[in-house]
Amino acid sequence: MAVDIYKYLREDKLPHIWCPGCGHGTILNSLVRAIDQTDIDPDKTVVVSGIGCSGRAPGYLKFDTLHTTHGRAIAFATGIKLANPELNVIVLTGDGDGSAIGGNHLIHGCRRNIDLTVILFNNQIYGMTGGQYSPMTPTGAVATTSPYGNIDQDFDLVDLTRSAGATFVARGATYNPRQMTKLYKEGLEHKGFSFIETLDQCPVNYGRKNNIGGPTEMLDWQKEHTVPASKWEKMPEEEKEGIFPLGVIHRKDDPESEYTARYQQIIDSFAKEDE
Amino acid sequence: MSKKEAVLLQGDLAVVEGGMAAGAEFFAGYPITPASEIAEGFARELPKVGGKFIQMEDELAGMACAIGGSLSGKKSITATSGPGFSLKQENLGLGIMIEAPVVVVDVQRVGPSTGLPTSPSQGDVMQAKWGTHGDHPIIALSPSSVKEAFDLTVKAFNFAEKYRQPVILLLDEIVGHMREKVILPDADEIEVWDRKRPPADADKENFNPYEWTDDLVPPMPDYGTGFRYHTTGLFHDKTGFPRGTTEDAKKLMDRMTAKIENNLDEIILYDEDIREDDNIVVLSYGSTARSAVSAVNEARENGLNAGWIKLKTIWPFAEEKVSKLAEKANKIIVPELNQGQLIREVERAAKGQAEVVGINRYDGTLIKPEHVLAEIEGVK
Ligand SMILES: Cc1ncc(C[n+]2csc(CCOP(=O)(O)OP(=O)(O)O)c2C)c(N)n1
Ligand code: SF4
């Protein structure tokens, strides 16, 4: 059955501002398809972002949407969710936004296991500001601020969020939108902190400058550098180097450990005293 | 009116009591001396009435989270001191830009940097006005006693809600940590204002979240009530969407400024005792006002023509009032626990009509009444 994705989009705001070949639109598309497959109420859904090309995504979505400051979306979202746990709160963040300036909020969001769905657009570069390196830029890659090759090490955000306490952790890639939709859907339905890293392409500021090529070649690169999580687990360590597992990587279903549920127990304990 | 007993209350806890009386429902913050008691108080009180408290990972997050709570429709507050106040500035700017009601408490300690963590200061007066980048309106209130801390917290919430505006409550370490006997008003004696929300039958499809209403304060829907509107820290038009044109930028800035400037009579609060013949006026605010008032009283006993004015609202500055004072007075004395911050505003308003003299301490020591008295007596 055809999905009417436009009912979730602000059509009058289209076309979007992203460059031709940018992967951000693919993520947006998968997200609305995923929302359509859940039974969440669009009137009770809030989408929050920080700053970056990815930060512009909420502007195209027909929900309550909030475009905040660079890196802080999870902190704003935490307030929105805790103040009204009925709301479905989605955070859209870039790799710079979510893992550099906002890295601390990401860790603490995971630790609280507050019921947010965080989708991180990992294009391995600062797109909006013209191609400076991010914490997700691979060692050796060229960026405008690493003209001689990046000497930093990149994060493994899946490992990081898992050990910080996120209860749903997954990785998708824009070359496989079907899987992305599935992962987003599961993340949206999961009660607790859901983190879905999505490998994404910025042909303008990353692909061309690192001799990977344009969007098509970048998607090919994704295909060559990813394997299903189930396969990855069985791979010998030396083969894992530079290869990313895709799919659900970690999941723990324990709705009672979710942050707003825990806080509600405190409130309820006072209500009982009054009875 | 019921006969109530006086309670012994600390200034920081008076902020908690005042907040609860004003209907606070949400606190997000990060601990710091001398403001931690405020967080601790809200952590204790809020869940009892179904409200929420959260300790965030830093003050950036505290400010952001409090604004988030406000967007979900709850009356929100955060509290900090100097180093944390610096961290809050960027998100405070977002709060101003998106017109989110929120109360930001800064219990001032001596800076810069870690400074003197447990000593009083009024060093953040200009930061309260200019701390976040760009031109912007702000309201800042400064209590001088425990009772005023209670009353002005209620006011801070009311102003925040009425004007869709972050309101700063500037305490200093003395007022924050001092204990005084106070009689707190009953709930029915306290005026509590709520933000204006769009009517239930509003046209949600064509709703403009930043509409130009007569009072220049657009009604604010709670998230999750079907308006599905957009909010951004970028300059935006009435639809809430970014519009980078100079014309729209100016329009928004002018409206945000005017919503405060049109209501100065309501917002600017002060107490004064200035007699017809008083030609010396001591202008003070916060804990310094205590020494100012007692010095004036003593000067009067000595037959001097001195009066006092105590500003409870620092920003917007009581420009017109001070200008009028300067027409009559020969001298305005401005004691401050800083190197001279609000005095610049006093000089500006006085326009050379009266001599303006500062008394300044910035070493963590109080200004004593005798310091002020000496300055008053210096005048023939
Ligand atoms: C406090 C602050 N610092 C820096 C910036 C400048 N800035 C805007 S977007 C951005 C990087 C965005 O990169 P990323 O999060 O990876 O998103 P992308 O643009 O690639 O989608 C930076 C550094 C800012 N807006 N605010
Ligand atoms: S600069 Fe990169 S991330 Fe930004 S819109 Fe263009 S392709 Fe996308």
- Residue of B53, B230, B234 to mutate, testing the A interface (most A Cβ within 10 Å of its Cβ): B230
B88-116 as b/e, with b when 16 or more CB fall inside 10 Å? bbbbbbbbbbbbbbbbbbbbbbbbeeebb
Domain boundaries, chain B: 7-189, 270-377
pLDDT, tens digit (0-9, with 9 covering 90-100), for B162-183? 999 999 999 999 999 999 999 9
**B227 contacts in chain A (CB < 8 Å):** 64
Residues 6+ apart with CB under 8 A from A23: A121, A123, A174, A198, A200, A201, A202, A215, A218
pLDDT of the residue at A275: 67
| Å from CA of A129 to ligand 1 middle | 6
Is B178 in contact with B146 (CB distance < 8 Å)? yes
pLDDT of residue B96: 98
A82/B71 CB distance under 8 A: no
Do residues A78 and A122 lie in contact, with contact meaning Cβ atoms separated by under 8 Å?
A: no
Task: Look up residue B68 and give its two tokens.
Answer: 């988030």
B233 part of contact set with chain A, CB < 8 Å: yes
In this prediction the pTM is: 0.98
B78 touches chain A (CB under 8 A): no
| HEC profile of chain B | CCCCCCEEEEHHHHHHHHHHHHCCCEEEECCCCCCHHHHHHHHHHHHHHCCEEEECCCHHHHHHHHHHHHHCCCCEEEEECHHHHHHHHHHHHHHHHHCCCEEEEEEEEECCCCCEEEEECCCCHHHHHHCCCCCCCCEEECCCCHHHHHHHHHHHHHHHHHHCCEEEEEEEHHHHHCEEEECCCCHHHCCCCCCCCCCCCCCCCCCCCCCCCCCCCCCCCCCCCCCCCEEECCCECCCCCECCCHHHHHHHHHHHHHHHHCCHHHHCCEEEECCCCCCEEEEEECCHHHHHHHHHHHHHHCCCCEEEEEECEEECCCHHHHHHHHHHCCEEEEEECCCCCHHHHHHHHHCCCCEEEEEECCCCCCCCHHHHHHHHHCCC
B208 has a chain A CB within 8 A of its CB: no
Atom 9 in ligand 1: residue holding the nearest Cα: A52
Say what the ipTM of the complex is: 0.97
From chain A, the residues in CB contact with B242 under 8 A are 59
Ligand 1 within 6 A of A134 CB? yes
Q: Provide the pLDDT for residue A1.
A: 58
CATH architecture of B270-377: 3-Layer(aba) Sandwich (3.40)
Residue of A nearest to B28 (CA): A79
Query: Which of A126, A72, A63 lies closest to A94 in space, CA to CA?
Result: A126
What does the alpha-carbon distance between residue B150 and residue B380 come to, in Å, rounded to a whole number? 40
Can you give the pLDDT at residue B330? 97
Residue owning tokens 């994704």: A222
Ligand 1, residues A95, A129, A205: which to mutate, most atoms within 8 A of Cβ?
Answer: A129
Decide if B378 touches A, using CB distance below 8 A.
no
Q: What is the pLDDT of residue A3?
A: 82
pLDDT tens digits, one per residue of B325-374: 999 999 999 999 999 999 999 999 999 999 999 999 999 999 999 999 99
Same fold, B7-189 and B270-377: yes
CA distances from A254 to A159, B309, B357 (A): 20, 60, 65
The domain at B7-189 falls in which architecture? 3-Layer(aba) Sandwich (3.40)
Contact between residue A120 and residue A90 where contact means Cβ atoms under 8 Å apart: no
| Longest CA span, chain A | 69
Q: Does B228 touch chain A (CB under 8 A)?
A: yes
Q: Which among A58, A63, A79 has the least Cβ separation from residue B67?
A: A79
Q: Which residues lie closer than 8 Å to A265 by C-beta, 6 or more apart?
A: none
Structure token pair of residue B167: 């309101």
Count CB neighbours of A262 within 10 A.
13
Query: Structural domains in chain A?
Result: 22-232+240-274 (3.40.50.970)
Of A10, A80, A104, the CB nearest to B58: A104
Cβ within 8 Å, pair A83-B64: no
The partner residue sitting opposite B224, judged by closest CB among A62, A84, A108, is A84
Distance B87 CA to ligand 1 centre (A): 18
pLDDT in tens, chain B (380 residues): 456 889 999 999 999 999 999 999 999 999 999 999 999 999 999 999 999 999 999 999 999 999 999 999 999 999 999 999 999 999 999 999 999 999 999 999 999 999 999 999 999 999 999 999 999 999 999 999 999 999 999 999 999 999 999 999 999 999 999 999 999 999 999 999 999 999 989 999 999 999 999 999 999 999 999 999 999 999 999 999 998 788 999 999 999 999 999 999 999 999 999 999 999 999 999 999 999 999 999 999 999 999 999 999 999 999 999 999 999 999 999 999 999 999 999 999 999 999 999 999 999 999 999 999 999 998 54
**CB atoms B58 and A62 under 8 Å:** no
Looking at the partner chain, which of B28, B226, B228 has a beta carbon nearest the beta carbon of A79? B28
Residue A56 carries which side chain, given as an amino acid letter? R
Report the alpha-carbon angle A257-A259-A261, nearest 5: 75
Mean pLDDT, each 10-residue run in order, chain A (275 residues): 87 96 98 97 98 98 98 99 98 98 98 98 98 98 98 97 98 98 98 98 97 97 98 96 96 97 98 75
Residue B167's closest CA among B275, B310, B15, B335? Answer: B15
CB atoms within 10 A of CB A261: 17
How far apart are the CA of A202 and the centre of ligand 2, in A?
5
Q: B280 burial class (0-12, 13-18, 19+ CB within 10 angstroms)?
A: buried
Q: What was the pLDDT predicted at B380? A: 43
Helix orientation angle between B59-71 and A73-83, rounded to the nearest 10 degrees: 50
